[in-house]
Amino acid sequence: MLSRCLRFFQRTDVTSYCGKPSQKYTAAAMPCEPFRPIFITGFPRSGTTLLAATMDRHSAISITPETYFFTALKSIHKRASSHNYDSRFVQRLMGEYGLRDLMLRPEDVCAFLNGDKLSARNIFRAILMAYQHRMGTAMIGEKTPSHIMEADKLLKWYPQSRMIFVLRDGRDAVASLLNMPWRSHGIARLHAVTWRRYVQIAQQIQRRYPDRFILVKYEDILSQPNTEIRRLDEFCGIKFEPRQIDATIQTHVVPQWEEPWKLKATHPIDTTRVGHWRTDFTVEEKWALNHTMSPYLQQFGYEDYGVSECPPVRRLWLKATGVLLRTGETRRIYRAVSSRLYKKHHPYSLFDPYEITPSPAALENK
């Protein structure tokens, strides 16, 4: 089996995905117990990469690039005739989008299973432990925004884990997301519904795990980085290091192929990256976004654009469609139609992420 895994990676130039191996790497085995990973989540384009880069600069912790572990699991299960977890499954898994950016060989992952039963829980644990060993740090963190949808599972799987949710003004997050070449569709209001759902889940998880889940506002990180990073470090059980705010220190959370739209997150903190929604959306779009997000925007202290000038008929339409869009079946139909149109008209809809040439809008990396 190991020889097949080796041949697989000999055919795959993994260094072209992530650049050079980390300078933190040491050949000596690192203590991996107790296993207390840090998970960084949030709505896409909400500052999760900025936070991951800041935490990754700490001498005691390494943060992975986005793994999309659960997406990879579903992808393999959908294609495979058998759903058994075995060494071949690990080989296929490590070749999936996202996980290949970790530059880990399947045999490296298998070595950290320590004879444990092959399960999704143990495989993900082994992947994170293998990356921690490769980077040579005492702790490991993982950043995949959509893993907020699996928060309950992750926190149950690993009882000593912690999770951070990064919250950004939903209108800014959606404005930035619409400029990304990999977005699933270009309908702002539907993204707003997803943002609302992410925040709802985050609040539910925070109530369920008050000592292991923390929410931080992206705008607070920009305006008072030292205070917020100290607070998060204390939550994670580590001491603040000034190097975390030093953008000249290399970080490994952004694979080479993602640099066009993520590299700015590793640069010095830019406080001007707030409030783009005011100029990016039309008045009608602002009405729709605010109507969808308003309760949570107000709750977290964001400016309420209001719909007082919105015509009554339009306001009634927003209310009726808002209720429909919050039902799962309607969202699926709406997304299916919009995705079909998107794939037909958008040049990046079928891109290979490891060969993509980004659009000029993506290069702006709002």
What is d(CA 58, CA 348) in angstroms, rounded to the nearest whole number? Answer: 35
Distance between CA atoms of 286 and 277, rounded to whole angstroms? 8
Domain count along the chain: 1
Nearest to 204 by CA among 215, 193, 194: 215
pLDDT tens by residue, 171-219: 999 999 998 887 777 788 889 989 999 999 999 999 999 999 999 999 9
Range of the domain at 271: 31-60+137-364
Angle at 301 (CA atoms; ends 330, 145), nearest 5 degrees = 50
Distance, in Å, from the CA atom of 302 to the CA atom of 173, rounded to the nearest integer, reads: 13
Structural domain contains residue 323: yes
* Whether 108 contacts 8, CB under 8 Å: no
Model confidence pLDDT, tens digit, residues 142-174: 999 999 999 999 999 999 999 999 999 999 999
Contact 197, 41 (CB under 8 A): no
Within a domain: 300 = yes
306: left (phi over 0), alpha (psi -120 to 50) or beta: left
In the predicted model, is pLDDT for residue 114 greater than 90? no
CATH code (residue 189): 3.40.50.300
Counting residues of the chain whose pLDDT is more than 90, the rounded percentage is 49
Write the pLDDT tens digit of every residue in 352-361. 443 433 343 4
Residue 78, in any domain of the structure: no
Per DSSP, the residues of 340-357 read HHHHHH-TTTT--TTT--
Q: Report if residue 53 sits inside a domain.
A: yes
Residues linked to residue 61 through DSSP beta bridges, in sequence order: 139
Q: Is the residue at 320 inside a domain?
A: yes
